[in-house]
Amino acid sequence: MSKYSPLHQFHLDFGAKVTDFGGWQMPIEYPAAKGGGVLNEHNAVRNSVGLFDVSHLGKALVKGEGALCYLNSIFTNDLRKISDGQAQYTLLCQKGNGGVIDDLIIYRYSTSHFLLIPNAANCSEVIRQISQDAPKGLEIENLHESFALLALQGPRSGEVLRELDIEVELDYMSFMESKLDSEELIICRTGYTGEHGYEILTSWASARKIWDLLLGKVKKFAGLPAGLGARDTLRTEMGYALHGHELTLEITPLESSASWALAFDKEFWGKSALEKQRLEKKHRRLAAILISDRGIPRAGMEIRDKSGKAIGYVTSGTFSPSLKTGIALGLLDSKLAIDSEVFIDIRGRLSQGLIKPLPFHPSRVK
């Protein structure tokens, strides 16, 4: 049975194209007749500001004595390297092969208090996995539908908050508590677009009020409500991994270029398998491909070299509104040099592309 965001009625009233996303009915784009559509929403975020409903993402509380030590023995990144009031990107890997159960953000309140933001479809599984061997007295609670999550993204996102009398002086990946119209907020300087931005947690019950207040100021700066279609084109231009595409139970962090989130100087699930893979250097590699013709690559399409040999497949592909051409992330059998020529089989026609460094578009998150 599908689940619904607390903003679902807004999306319907505003004419959004809604579809299933991780078991949730979420807006892909808003109608062009109202100034929206993926291209317009994407460009609003790149040039001004956009507001996303990402309430489908999971939320989980981990609280109690020993929380830091326990979580740090499970997740790949090192929670000891961040301070209270900071957040960290990390991965939960399988113990056996190092495949990715989920990638997530962890908010550190203290050594005994953490908030986890898993992906929508994986929230229950993440909670189940980390609960299995949890030490006695550690509280692990599913808060998936206790909090709504809004993403305010774009170069003018800070101005939107200041218009609402919220002064936010946060370093990247830091968070703070605030209030808007008496409603409590948790504001984190992060996002999934490559732009300066914030992710804002508020209660499920207050979501519509906060959304309306934010959207009113977003419109003042010629911004737009944005759907998950634009979120996908924005993150693909950055080369950000998406679980189910670049990260799966069969694709490890080393293969998906997420090795920067692996702290090999401590323990974590899947460490042995990933250490072995790292030493052998025989694993597949993620590549960024800029299409040279009018082809638009899609996930699952075969990638070939100049000789016609199959060398991998597209994990994510789209039309880049910023570059006005097709782009792809692809998992290849070997590493190819920058500007190497490859071909993608797009419904029986070979479309030419070049291997390029990431990101496709300059990042402005910091």
No. of helices (H) and no. of strands (E), the chain: 8, 20
The candidate with the shortest Cα–Cα distance to 40, out of 230, 215, 232, 319, is 230
Q: Where are the alpha helices (DSSP H) in the chain?
A: 8-13, 38-47, 67-72, 123-132, 157-163, 207-220, 228-238, 271-280
Give, as one character, the DSSP assignment of residue 243.
B
Give, as one character, the DSSP assignment of residue 247.
B
Answer yes or no: is pLDDT of 85 > 90: yes
Domain with CATH 3.30.70.1400 in the chain: 60-137
What was the pLDDT predicted at 182? 97
Answer yes or no: is pLDDT of 81 > 80: yes
1 band by pLDDT with thresholds 50, 70 and 90: confident
Q: Across all residues in the chain, what is the average pLDDT?
A: 97
What was the pLDDT predicted at 224? 98
- Rounded Cα–Cα distance for residues 59 and 116 (Å): 6
C-alpha neighbours within 13 Å on the C-beta side of residue 365: 19
- Rounded Cα–Cα distance for residues 176 and 257 (Å): 30
Instruction: Please tell me the CATH code under which domain 60-137 is placed.
Output: 3.30.70.1400
Per-residue pLDDT reduced to its tens digit, 227-237: 999 999 999 99
Cβ atoms of 286 and 255 closer than 8 Å: yes
Answer yes or no: is pLDDT of 366 > 80: no
What was the pLDDT predicted at 288? 98
- Rounded Cα–Cα distance for residues 252 and 277 (Å): 9
Percentage of residues of the chain with pLDDT beyond 90: 96
What was the pLDDT predicted at 228? 98
What was the pLDDT predicted at 361? 96
Answer yes or no: is pLDDT of 128 > 90: yes
Mean pLDDT of 338-347: 97
* Sequence-ordered list of residues with C-beta below 8 angstroms from that of 272, at least 6 positions apart, any chain: none
Give, as one character, the DSSP assignment of residue 134.
P
Strand order in the sheet with 139-142: 86-93, 100-110, 113-117, 60-63, 139-142
Strand order in the sheet with 147-153: 175-180, 183-188, 197-203, 147-153, 50-53, 224-226
Residue in the structure block whose two tokens are 């899947």 = 270
Answer yes or no: is pLDDT of 116 > 80: yes
- Rounded Cα–Cα distance for residues 14 and 33 (Å): 10
Per-residue pLDDT reduced to its tens digit, 248-266: 999 999 999 999 999 999 9
Structure tokens at 349: 């026609």
What pTM was estimated for this model as a whole?
0.96
- Rounded Cα–Cα distance for residues 363 and 366 (Å): 8
Answer yes or no: is pLDDT of 306 > 90: yes
- Rounded Cα–Cα distance for residues 148 and 26 (Å): 13
The matching CATH number, chosen from 1.10.3470.10, 3.20.20.140, 3.30.1360.120, 2.40.50.100, for 3-55+145-237 is 3.30.1360.120
Domain with CATH 3.30.1360.120 in the chain: 3-55+145-237
- Rounded Cα–Cα distance for residues 87 and 84 (Å): 8
CATH fold of 284-366 reads Elongation Factor Tu (Ef-tu); domain 3 (2.40.30)
Domain with CATH 2.40.30.110 in the chain: 284-366
34 band by pLDDT with thresholds 50, 70 and 90: confident
Do strands 3-4 and 24-29 pair parallel, antiparallel, or not at all (unpaired)?
parallel
Mean pLDDT of 315-343: 97
